[in-house]
Each structure stands twice: as C-alpha cells, then as structure tokens.
Amino acid sequence: MSKKKQNAAGEVEKEKTEAAAEETAEEKTAPETEEKTEAEEKPETEEKSEAEGKPAEETAGQPKDPGLAALNDKYLRLCAEYDNFRKRSQKEKDALYADVKASAVMAFLPVYDNLVRALNQATEDEAYKKGVEMIMAQFRATMEKLGVKEMDCLGQKFDPAFHNAVMHVDDEEKGENEIVEVFQQGFMLGDKVIRFAMVKVAN
C-alpha cells in the first residue's frame, strides 16, 4: 500500500474516532442537561403549588361567609324558639289539666257537703248511718286519688290565703285568730286552693 493511501486511511479512522468521541460526549451531556432542566423546572412547580396553596390557607383562617353565619344564627334562634314553645305548651297543658280537674272536683263538692250534713244528723237507724259513712269514706278516697286534700282548719291560725272568715267571736279560752268552727270544708289540689274554708274566728 502506498504512503498516501495509508495516510488517507489513517485520517478516516481518526475522523471516525473523533465522531464517536463527540457522540459519547453528547450522550453524557444530554442527561445532565435534562436533569438540570428538571431541577430548574421543579422549584417553579413547587413555587406554583405554594402559590396555589397559600390562598386556601388564608381562606381557612378567614371568618366564615357572612351569609352562612346568618343562616346558622337563624337556625340557632329557631331551635331556641321551638324549645321555648315546647316548654310553654307543656306548661300550659299541665295547667289546663289541673284547671279541668279542679273544675270537676268543684262540681262534686256539694255532694260532699250533703254527706257531711247527713252524718251530722242524729238518727237511730244504724244501717242508714253506716251506709252514709261508707259513701263518705269512698268519696274521700276518690278525692285523695285525684290529689285533692281537705284543709285541716279547726284549731289552726286564721290565714286569708286559705280561709274565709264569716263570723268572729270573743273567747278567752281560745288563742288570737284561732279557728273555732268550720262551716264549710276547704279543699286544695296540690298547692292550689280550689275552695276556701268558711270558718268562725275567735279573738
């Protein structure tokens, strides 16, 4: 082979070697460039995410929507009003029941008064007297079941909240304002007076 051909072949090999070296250098440089690009883009993405997340955090710390707060306040007021209405209705219902019961008992009190008069009448008929006593016992038991009680007046101090004084007498043997006689028995339903006792008061 001539010297020129050898030189030409050497130059070709040299060019191939340089080309291969350049390709290898480009391949090594390309990933670094891509990684660098990703590294450069990543902070921007994070900054963007932080920028997007920041309003959400600020919104969470801000007061609620005024419209929502107004609706919530209206709801709470409505619940409170309903609870008050329920309690008031129950109270009125209980009071109405007590008033109706007291009215019904008042309608039967004249029967009680007549039984008292019958018992106070002297009679020789023991069977008749026994029958009236049994009726009176049954009447009183029924009244107790309804929560109605007779006032204990005789010998007690006169109290205008429970007694109605229709007669006054001076008696040195009795205390001041002492009830010495009961003309008509008084009755109470719980703490409520359904009929005042008609009494005679001494001194």
Q: Answer whether residue 22 is part of any domain.
A: no
Q: Answer whether residue 92 is part of any domain.
A: yes
Residues 132 and 165 in one domain: no
b/e per residue 29-67 (b: at least 16 CB within 10 A)? eeeeeeeeeeeeeeeeeeeeeeeeeeeeeeeeeeeeeee
Residues in the chain: 203
Residues 137 and 154 in one domain: no
- pTM of the predicted model over 0.75: no
Q: Answer whether residue 43 is part of any domain.
A: no
Report the C-alpha dihedral over residues 174, 176, 182, 184, rounded to 10 degrees: 170
Residues 123 and 69 in one domain: yes
Q: Answer whether residue 167 is part of any domain.
A: yes
Q: Answer whether residue 100 is part of any domain.
A: yes
Residues 140 and 69 in one domain: yes
Per-residue pLDDT of the chain (203 residues; tens, 9 = 90+): 444 445 455 565 666 666 655 655 555 444 444 444 444 445 444 444 444 554 444 455 455 688 888 899 999 999 999 999 999 999 898 888 888 999 999 999 999 999 999 999 998 999 999 999 999 999 999 999 999 999 999 999 999 999 999 999 998 888 899 999 999 999 999 889 999 999 999 98
> How many domains is the chain partitioned into structurally?
2
Q: Domain with 116 in it: what CATH number?
A: 3.90.20
189: β partners: 148, 192
Which residues contact residue 175 at a Cβ distance below 8 angstroms, ignoring those fewer than 6 apart? 157, 202, 203
Residues 70 and 136 in one domain: yes
Residues 132 and 160 in one domain: no
Residue 148 token pair: 């109605």
Q: Answer whether residue 34 is part of any domain.
A: no
pLDDT of residue 47: 47
198: β partners: 164, 184
Q: Answer whether residue 26 is part of any domain.
A: no
Residues 123 and 102 in one domain: yes
Bin 177: left if φ > 0, else alpha if -120 < ψ < 50, else beta: left
CB 199 within 8 A of CB 158: yes
Residues 167 and 102 in one domain: no
Residues 73 and 104 in one domain: yes
Distance of CA 115 to the CA centre of its chain: 49
Which residues contact residue 69 at a Cβ distance below 8 angstroms, ignoring those fewer than 6 apart? 63
Residues 131 and 76 in one domain: yes
Residues 88 and 121 in one domain: yes
CA-to-CA distance for 9 and 49, rounded, in angstroms? 60
Closest C-alpha to 136, from 116, 158, 154, 153: 116
Q: Domain with 187 in it: what CATH number?
A: 2.30.22.10
Residues 93 and 123 in one domain: yes
CA-to-CA distance for 132 and 126, rounded, in angstroms? 10
pLDDT of residue 23: 56
pLDDT of residue 20: 58
Residue 116 token pair: 């008292």
Residues spanned by the domain of 198: 148-203
CA distances from 66 to 55, 61, 62, 134 (A): 19, 14, 11, 75
pLDDT of residue 51: 45
